[in-house]
A and B are shown apart, each in its own frame.
Chain A
Amino acid sequence: MESIGVLMMCPMNSYLENELQKRYNLHRFWTCPEKSVFLETHRNSIRAIVGNASAGADAKLIDDLPKLEIISSFSVLTEDVADLAIGLILALLRRLCECDRYVRSGKWKYGDFKLTTKFSGKSVGIIGLGRIGAAIAKRAQGFNCPINYYSRTEKPDVGYKYYPTVVELAQNSDILVVACALTDETRHIVNREVMDALGAKGVLINIGRGPHVDEKEMVKALTEGRLGGAGLDVFEQEPHVPEELFGLENVVLVPHVASATVETRTAMADLVLGNLEAHFAGKPLLTQVV
């Protein structure tokens, strides 16, 4: 059987990539220097696209590929990312990492740990109320947190308070969560002004992308005490993390684990592979959207 051309839109999961490589003729769209030339060359062999939330197949691309039969979307589990956001908030406010270190070092014998900050009832401001933002809001409501949000347009009927600018959102929230997609407009959406508005009692949670936050400014704000704390899953130059953060007790740093659960990695990748296999074998798809 001639090898089936599969176009992968962006890097998303190495396990998936390897499996696609093994089974199909994989084209990595992000490595192509001349996209139009590439499309001309391969337009008749590409029969499937594997994309995700930030890099999908738009109308033009679909038109350019006359042999396109199936588009399979690899999405990180929304729940896992939202779970991690709440986990970072709790670990940060209640100093869970510090507590664990405190006990393991044997210091508890000499005295109790200090008081930490309550989470229940704190106001949560979410930048971007997409699937992930909405999932975070739903979880935070279980803790009696009032929810505020910013997005490009106000969403009717959500029941949360809308703010037209990120600065205003930061002024009116105790916890600011970055949950939007990374685009040219949202680069450094959390800048110095936003962080000053969030203030010495406010905390920042970034489960979006590193470039969402002006990292140099954030490090300064944290070390100078102008920003109360941060829970960070992503950084501008991963896996390099600014070393000034290593000595701070008001940060929680995790190595891009938002989608790093066993279930996300294997199960979702398997779902994509399963769908493609089913399709090309003429069998019914595992999941179907359209």
Chain B
Amino acid sequence: MDFASSSLFTADFAYENELDLSSLITPSTFIPFQEPNPSIPTIHCAGAENDGRQRIRETTTTDEITNEDVEPKNKKAKRREIGRQRRQEVTSLFKNLRYILPSQYIKGKRSSSDHVQEAVNYIKDLEKKIKEISEKRDRIKRSISHSSSTGECSIRSLESSYCSCDGYTHIDVKVRTCLVGIEIVASCCFRQESCVSSILQLLIQEQCLDVVSCISSRLHPRFIHTIVCERQCTQSTVPSKSMAEESPLVLVHRPPTMKYMDEPLTRYYRILTTHTSSDPLPVFLSRHASSVRAVVSIGRFKIDADFLSRLPSLQLIVCTSVGTDHVDLPECNRRGIAVTNAGGAYSEDVADYAVGLLISFLRRIPAADRYVRSGKWARCGEFQLGIKLSGKRIGILGLGSIGSLIAKRLEPFGCIISYNSTRQKQSIPYLYYPDVVSLAANNDVIVLCCALNDQTRHIVNREVMEALGKKGIIINVGRGGLIDEKEMVKCLVEGVIGGAGLDAFEKEPGVPVELFGLDNVVLSPHCAIATPGSFDNVVELALANLKAFFSNQPLISPVRLN
């Protein structure tokens, strides 16, 4: 009989449940028991090997026989009747026994005594198996909860610590596996001052464990200390089934519609998404994400100090956007959390789009398209003239990867490029302006493609727009917050500036309604990056950053935090 082949029998299952005989056996095909020959007296069925019980029966029968003399005929019939019944009972008992016993036990056996013997053998075999398997289970359990091979966990020695409060003595310690290694939950009386330090001292002695986090909460009148330890050595001393082989857990903080990272991430990581739980976000984080070391941030969901405080193990935030204004960067810096962004994954598409917005504005392409489709060309004649692009002076605010690609694209059009940026380099061939106002004053077009942060919020204000002038044009492929939107709307309506091509707004998807009726704007629903290629690029980059992080290599597209 082979226990291991039965799917019902697992080590834990056997141990944690009552041993249930019926689930362990495989019923054999029923082989009919040979009915004893009715002519042979009952006595013959109970052979010499039988146990005492049969003998007692025999004795009873014998007794009944001696009483027969009184009423010979009736007694005989009665005796025969009883005998028949007994035979039937025994037969059915043995049928049941034969049915229960696995086939290898009953093969070749016919007599009842053989069956009983085999039944005894079967029970003995089962007992032996159970013992073997529970020993195996205990071994496995020990090896999982102890990362060293030194048998009993030395932490248990804390159990004998004395605490003078009544009813709440002892430190209760539970050790269990968790995602990065082990989690120790120690609960002790609030007067027990040395609980955490004792545990930590023991852990320091265990050289292959690193303490990742230690959180203490008070649950009157006890403290509960949760200590998470990371397995330090990759060469694990744990036999075979080791948790170190399990892939890391990554938290994905995204709106429900933006699913494009999920499948790529699950190829390498286990993911936890914040929007799938009905718990409020702080509760969800505290409950599920205490050991999360990396977060993937998609969309514009805020990652603020409160969010960060609930992820004590967090070391990396991977953003799928270029802009990181939704992340509290100073707080990340304080906590030693690295942040990566989309780097240059979108740069080409955004640069293309910026040039597209500019040409569409100058040559009035959307308005011209509307003009033709409405039939006005045939009815009303020539459309209004546009404005030439070549020779225009273009001022780029923020000469990062997007800004430089925009400059590269506009040069063949005969445009004159200048810029303002936090970095002025000698190697850049374009004219540098030290501030935004002078950039605006000396250019026909300003293109905004810099990061949004405290220094650049509303960097394009009334003063800048007045410097730009009534023929000046703003192209915004950065963030809406770069422009004082209320002022800009006024400037557009009043003709203080010539026009604008806008892909971003302060309160997307809300757009100031005054813009809808204007001819001197081209409006766009923040889709400068929105090509399939861009998303492929950012998936690749995010995975590369995560891979680098989990293998302690330098990050691919880190963001400066200060």
Same complex for A and B? Answer yes
Which residues of A are interface residues toward B (Cβ below 8 A)? 77, 79-80, 83-84, 86-88, 90-91, 94, 96-97, 99-104, 108-109, 112-121, 138-139, 141-144, 238-241, 246, 252-255, 257, 260-265
Which chain B residues numbered 78 to 132 have a C-beta less than 8 Å away from chain A? Answer: none
Q: Cα distance A90–B413 when bound, in Å? A: 14
Cβ-defined contact, B510 with A115, below 8 A: no
Residues of A within 8 A of B47 (CB): none
Q: Is the CB of A255 within 8 A of B368?
A: yes
Q: Known interface pairs A80-B388, A91-B356, A262-B387. Does A100 touch B366 (Cβ–Cβ under 8 Å)?
A: yes
Task: Identify A97's interface contact among B366, B378, B386, B535, CB under 8 A.
Answer: B366
Complex contacts, A88 vs chain B, CB 8 Å: 365
Q: Are B524 and A139 in contact (CB-based, < 8 A)?
A: no
A-B contact pairs, 28 of them (CB 8 A): A84-B359, A87-B356, A90-B353, A90-B359, A96-B360, A97-B360, A97-B370, A99-B525, A100-B360, A102-B525, A104-B516, A108-B508, A115-B531, A115-B532, A118-B532, A120-B348, A141-B412, A142-B409, A143-B409, A239-B377, A241-B378, A246-B372, A254-B369, A255-B371, A260-B386, A262-B385, A262-B388, A263-B387
B189 to chain A, nearest CB (A): 56
CB-defined contacts of B531 to chain A, threshold 8 Å: 94, 115-118
Which residues from B are CB-within-8-Å of A255?
A: 368, 371-372, 377, 382-383
Q: Are B534 and A253 in contact (CB under 8 A)?
A: no
Query: Which of B388, B390, B411 meets A142, CB within 8 Å?
Result: B411
CB-nearest residue of chain B relative to A117? B531
Minimum CB–CB distance from A238 to chain B (whole Å) comes to: 8
Pairwise interchain contact A79-B527, C-beta atoms closer than 8 A = no
Beyond the given pairs A79-B390, A91-B369, 11 more chain A to chain B contacts, judged by CB atoms under 8 angstroms and listed by A's residue number, are A86-B413, A90-B359, A94-B527, A96-B522, A112-B525, A118-B349, A142-B413, A143-B352, A240-B378, A253-B372, A262-B386
Q: For B369, give the chain A residue with the smallest CB separation.
A: A97
- Provide the bound-state CA to CA distance between A138 and B522, in Å: 26
Which positions 481-514 of chain B face chain A at CB distance < 8 Å?
Answer: 508-511
Instruction: Check A261/B523 contact, CB under 8 A, given A108-B511, A109-B510.
Output: no
* B357, CB-defined interface residue at 8 Å: yes
Q: Are A87 and B516 in contact (CB under 8 A)?
A: no
Task: Say whether B27 faces chain A, with CB atoms less than 8 Å apart.
Answer: no
Complex interface: chain A residues within 8 A of B378 (CB): 239-241
Q: Do B348 and A118 touch across chains, with their CB atoms under 8 A apart?
A: yes
Pick the contact of A254: B368, B511, B523 (CB < 8 A): B368
Q: How far is the CA of A91 from the CA of B369 in the complex (A)?
A: 10
**B389 within 8 Å of A by Cβ?**
yes
Q: Which of A116, A139, A144 contacts B413 (CB 8 A)?
A: A139
Q: What 3 pairs across the A-B complex have the smallest Cβ distances?
A: A90-B356, A87-B359, A103-B523
Complex Cα gap A47–B527 (Å): 57
A178 → chain B closest CB, angstroms: 18
With most chain B CB atoms within 10 A of its CB, the pick from A99, A104, A255 is A99
| Cβ–Cβ contact B368 & A263, under 8 A | no
Q: Which of A117, A121, A143 has the most CB of B within 10 A?
A: A143
Binding site for A on B (CB under 8 A): 348-349, 351-353, 355-357, 359-360, 363-366, 368-373, 377-378, 381-383, 385-390, 408-414, 508-511, 516, 522-527, 530-535
Whether B525 and A108, one on each chain, are in contact in the complex, defined by CB atoms closer than 8 angstroms, is yes
* B368 CB contacts on chain A under 8 angstroms: 253-255, 257
**Residue B365 contacts which of A97, A113, A262 (CB distance < 8 angstroms)?**
A97
Q: How far, in Å, is B347 (CB) from chain A's closest CB?
A: 9
Contact A261 B385 (CB under 8 A): yes
Contact check, B383 vs A260: say whether CB atoms are below 8 A apart: yes
Using Cβ atoms and an 8 Å threshold, which residues of chain A touch B349?
118, 120
Among A100, A264, A265, contact of B524 (Cβ-Cβ < 8 Å): A100
Name the distance in Å between A75's Cβ and chain B's nearest Cβ.
14
Q: For residue A14, which residue of chain B has the nearest CB? A: B382
Q: Taking the nearest CB of chain B, how far is it from the CB of A55, in angstroms? A: 21
In the complex, the number of residue pairs spanning A and B with C-beta atoms less than 8 Å apart equals 175
Say yes or no: B383 contacts A257, CB within 8 Å.
Answer: yes
Q: Which A residue sits closest to B405, measured CB to CB?
A: A120
Closest to B349 in A: A118
* Complex partner residue of B530 from A79, A84, A86, A115, CB under 8 angstroms: A115
Chain A residues, CB < 8 A from B357: 96
Q: How far is the CA of A131 from the CA of B210 in the complex (A)?
A: 70
Q: In the complex the two chains form, is A252's CB within 8 Å of B365's CB?
A: yes
CA separation between A262 and B471, bound complex, in Å? 13
List, in ascending order, chain A residues with CB within 8 A of B414's CB. 79
In the complex, A110 Cα to B409 Cα: how many Å? 34
Q: Are B533 and A118 in contact (CB under 8 A)?
A: yes
Q: Smallest distance from the beta carbon of A239 to chain B beta carbons, Å? A: 4
Please, how many angstroms separate the alpha-carbon atoms of A120 and B352 in the complex? 7
A264 touches B527 (CB 8 A): no
Out of A79, A87, A238, name the residue touching B360 (CB < 8 Å): A87
Contacts of B382 in A (CB 8 A): 255, 260
**Complex formed: what's the CA distance from A109 to B525 in Å?**
10
Q: Which chain B residue shows the least CB distance to A110?
A: B509
Residues of A within 8 A of B523 (CB): 99-100, 103-104
Residues of B within 8 A of A96 (CB): 356-357, 360, 365-366, 522, 524
Instruction: Give the shortest distance, in Å, between B405 (CB) and chain A (any CB).
Output: 8
Residues of B within 8 A of A100 (CB): 360, 366, 522-524
Q: Please name all residues of chain B whose beta carbon is closer than 8 Å to the beta carbon of A115 when the two chains form the complex.
A: 530-532, 535
Kindly identify which residue among B365, B383, B390, B535 contacts A87, using a CB–CB cutoff of 8 Å: B365
A116 to B529 alpha-carbon distance, docked (Å): 9
A117 to B372, CA, bound (A): 24
Bound together, the chains give a CA A114 to CA B532 distance in angstroms of: 10
How distant is the Cα of A44 from the Cα of B414 in the complex, in angstroms?
A: 44
B411 cross-chain contacts in A, Cβ below 8 A: 142
Return chain B residues, CB-CB under 8 Å to A261: 363, 385-388
Q: CB-nearest residue of chain A relative to B387?
A: A261
Query: When the two chains form their complex, are residues B363 and A94 in contact, meaning their CB atoms are under 8 A apart?
Result: no
Residues of A within 8 A of B371 (CB): 255
Most A CB contacts (10 A, CB to CB) among B364, B369, B388, B509 go to B369
Residues in B neighbouring A138, C-beta threshold 8 A: 412
Q: Is the CB of B352 within 8 A of A83?
A: no
Measured CA separation A87–B361 after assembly (Å): 10
A83-B385 CB under 8 A given contacts A91-B366, A253-B369? no
User: Which residue of the partner chain B has the closest CB to A266?
Assistant: B385
A96 to B381, CA, bound (A): 24
Q: How far is the CB of B221 from chain A (nearest CB, A)?
A: 54
CB atoms of B352 and A94 under 8 A apart? yes
CB distance from B506 to the nearest CB of A (A): 14
Residues of A within 8 A of B386 (CB): 257, 260-262
Contact A263 B388 (CB under 8 A): yes
- Would B516 and A91 count as touching, CB distance under 8 A? no
Residue of B nearest to A77 (CB): B388
In the bound assembly, the distance between CA atoms of A154 and B390 in angstroms comes to 29
**Given contacts A88-B365, A118-B349, are A109 and B509 in contact (CB under 8 A)?**
yes
By a CB distance below 8 angstroms, the chain B residues around A117 are: 531
Which B residues are CB-close (under 8 A) to A77?
A: 388, 390
A112 contacts B348, C-beta separation under 8 Å: no
Please state if A90 and B355 are interface contacts (CB–CB under 8 Å).
yes
Chain B residues lying within 8 Å of A262, measured Cβ to Cβ, are 385-388
Enumerate chain A residues within 8 angstroms of B524, measured Cβ to Cβ. Answer: 96, 99-100, 103
- A87-B365, A116-B527 as given contacts; A241 in contact with B377, CB under 8 Å: yes
Which of B352, B360, B511 sits near A118, CB closer than 8 Å?
B352
